[in-house]
Amino acid sequence: MALALSILDQSTIASGRGADEAVRETLSLAQLADELGYARYWLAEHHNSASHAGAAPEILISAIAATTKRIRVGSAGVMLPHYAALKVAEQFRMLEAIAPGRIDLGVGRAPGSDGRTAYALNPNAAQSADDFPRQVQDVLGWLGEGLPVDHPFRAIRAQPEVPTAPEVWMLGSSDYGARLAAVLGLPYCFAYFITDGRGAAEAMARYRREFIAHPGRIAAPYGAIGVFALCAPTEAEARRLYRSRELWRLSRDSGIFPPLPSVEEAEAYPYSEAETAHLERIRARAIIGTPEQVRDRLTTLATELEVQEIAVLSPIHDPGARRQSVRLLAEAFGLTPAALS
């Protein structure tokens, strides 16, 4: 099976530009990905963040689904403990009515925010996180599988009732999500970019080993990883563009989530010896370079982890350079441009 290539977008806020511009850049990039032949376009969920504007992926999905023709569009993911399962099911039934057969519902358990924000979203946040497996099963039931006969809300029908259903994915960055995806027989995506790959091999192996097929769901394990990757016409240019991400990572690793700095800001930053050493360790694992170099690294990684799909995250301060990276990677993988009418 050929490796599927998709895009993961956090609607990154860039230094010197507003969150509104980040959202418009997401909409524009999704249309380009549709034209280039990418398999999916996934939107992340973050709250109370100066780094990411994607607080409501279901709304962005709606806008993208209405302005694209072919590409699958979905969430990576909806942080389910914040919400009622019925409301999530109804939102994604509505999205399925807008773009039949093109909607993905990726769900996760992490807060996508700090603890206080999680409680602001849902005062019962701690208990809801523990109830995550049941919530997922309720969503599946309201998306068309039906609820158990003894379910207290079995008589409630999620609207709108449409003939097709979203494809439900389990997302995670630990062993927990892999185990739950396997038990429920769902496709699974590991957030490789969050852990820098730590735990990925173990999670994917466990997912494959413990997978249980369920009627109406996928017949065999289907794994994906979300990976940071950046390419440019030359390796030197790719490494220059990567300087933004490096400086941002210093902040993230300290628990601070600022806007993505420009290359110029990153080059002017007075790095300490400890910060330089930290970035050198990160840089050694970064998937950056020419399109061919990035393609080969991604292909090797997919083979090692035995996954069928890679979703690429490429936050770049310059939107033109980001679009170029997406285009070059599509060409390197031989994606077939869509014949859009």
Which three-class secondary structure state does DSSP give residue 114?
Answer: coil
Q: Would you state the pLDDT for residue 113? A: 75
**pTM of the predicted protein model:** 0.95
Pick the range with the lowest mean pLDDT from 27-41, 229-243, 273-287.
273-287
Looking at residue 217, its pLDDT comes to 96
Read off the pLDDT band of 110 (50, 70, 90). confident
- How big is the chain by its Cα radius of gyration, in Å? 20
Mean pLDDT confidence for 228-235 = 98
pLDDT level of residue 339 (50, 70, 90 thresholds): low
CA 102/CA 38 separation, integer angstroms? 13
pLDDT of residue 1: 66
pLDDT at 341: 41
Instruction: Report pLDDT digits (tens) over 272-330.
Output: 999 999 999 988 889 999 999 999 999 999 999 999 999 999 999 999 999 999 999 99
User: Max Cα separation, the chain?
Assistant: 63
Question: Which residues, 6+ apart, have CB-to-CB distance to 57 below 8 Å?
Answer: 43, 44, 45, 75, 76, 77, 78
Burial of residue 296 (CB within 10 Å: 0-12, 13-18, 19+) is middle
Tell me the mean pLDDT in the region 103-123.
Answer: 88
- Residues 203-212 have pLDDT tens digits of 999 999 999 9
Question: 3-class secondary structure for 20-59?
Answer: HHHHHHHHHHHHHHHHHCCCEEEECCCCCCCCECCCCHHH
For residue 74, pLDDT over 60 is answered with yes
- Model confidence pLDDT, tens digit, residues 80-92: 999 999 999 999 9
- The mean pLDDT value of the chain amounts to 95
The rounded percent of the chain whose pLDDT value lies above 70 is 98
If we measure between CA atoms, which residue out of 72, 215, 76, 74 comes closest to residue 144?
215
Distance CA 329, CA 341 (A): 24
What is the tens place of the pLDDT at every residue in 186-225?
999 999 999 999 999 999 999 999 999 999 999 999 999 9
Query: 230, 290 in Cβ contact below 8 A?
Result: no
